[in-house]
Homo-oligomer: A and B are copies of this chain.
Amino acid sequence: MEYVLSEKVKTLKPSAIREIFKYAADPSVVSLSAGNPSPEAFPVKEIAEISNEILTKNPVAALQYSVTEGYAPLRETVRNFMKNTYNIGRENDELIITSGAQQVMDLFTKSTCNEGDTVICEAPSFIGSLNSFRSYNTRLCGIPLEKDGMNIEALEKALKTEKNIRFIYIIPNFQNPSGVTTSLEKRKKIYKLAKKYNVMIFEDNPYGELRISGENVPSIKSFDEDGIVAYVGSFSKILSPGMRVGFVVAPKQIVSKMIVCKQGQDVHTNIWAQMVAHKFMTEYDFNGHLANLRKIYKKKAEFCMDLLDKYLVPNKITYDKIEGGLFIWCRLPENVDMVDFCKQAVQRKVCVVPGNAFLTDEKEQSQCFRINFSTPTDEQLEKGIRILGELAKEIL
């Protein structure tokens, strides 16, 4: 039989990162290519304790069907936390629990985009989101990312000239892959432009709690008096990614459609995980846990940056210091073939992600590659960066 595929999926491919993971699976390879939270950041003992209590005292609630919008006590708790801590959520907003933040990428795109519509995003940006947008056959329009966020002129030009723009996708804190944090000034400019051109902002903030230095910058959603921002949060980096729990705060008119789509997509999010997240937030020292996470990641990030300073030849591989998140973005000189460099690194048993994987068109050129420091052990990190430095010395 010749299988008929929809136009949406015909050209869809697994992300380039997945191909790289195949090398990374080789135990002799040092993988700096993942994006996993550090296992030491999981509150393992507490989760086991909570889970055991739920499954002993209230098993049927944790095993039975539940409601699509999410476990009511968790919704309430997250709603209050976001409102009280970050001033996120207004009268016309609704918060629902999703199967990881990734599900919001799908539901929001499905609810707002027809095939051929345009999505504006940072260039580079998170592959998982780009692929979700692609899976609805949208057109991606990348705006060059500077040290303090998107190039505002390029953004306004795109808003003026592109057709059927549905939203601007932005990861404002410690962006994946670039590590860039968008300045407050630019956040305000982006908000103003979105309002002017009647386009929504899709604000994705998975790493917001992982700030290791500098001051918190208010989220765009926190000054959204016009109801033009959909905000996405996640428990993946602060509790556990395997549980697949995320949430969205957005205007009711959109969320009501996302709920119907979610009902047809997975009925509801795993209810055990929602109950665990709720108990962890309410019966344990949640803020203390977040402070501890920041301590873990600060140590890891600073160790990584020290290694980069130690092993990388200045002016051969450069990088920008980060204030949080899980990634560091390294840049090769203009005349170097970045993909070839990454391939040679793999041959020497170090795996990084080539920067073009994060562009709206993978065929575009990039001089950068991404390093992750949260997954490898300190020993692996040192070995990997030492080898990258040796390689750079030899061939650059």
Contact = CB atoms under 8 A, between A and B. Distances in A.
B105 A264 contact: yes
Interface stretch (A252-260, A346-354, A376-384): A252-260
Contacts of A13: 260
Given A4-B112, A52-B52, A244 B270 contact: yes
Contacts of A244: 99, 266-270
Interface in A236-269: 236, 240-244, 251, 253-254, 257, 259-261, 263-269
Contacts of A240: 63-64
B128 A110 contact: no
Contacts of A7: 114
Nearest to A134: B264
B265 A132 contact: yes
Interface string A1-33: 111111111001111001000000000000000
A336 interface: no
Nearest to A256: B14
B47 A251 contact: no
A9 B111 contact: yes
Nearest to A165: B4
Contact of A270 (B6, B226, B273): B273
A32 to B, nearest CB: 16
A227 B51 contact: no
B260 A12 contact: yes
Contacts of A242: 61-66, 270-272
Nearest to A111: B9
A370 interface: no
Interface stretch (A36-44, A141-149, A153-161): A36-44
A25 to B, nearest CB: 10
A55 interface: yes
A114 B114 CA distance: 11
A335 interface: no
A302 B155 CA distance: 66
Contact of A132 (B35, B264, B273): B264
A85 interface: no
A9 B59 contact: no
A103 interface: yes
A48 interface: yes
Which 5 interchain pairs have the tightest Cβ spacing? A132-B264, A63-B240, A48-B55, A242-B271, A270-B270
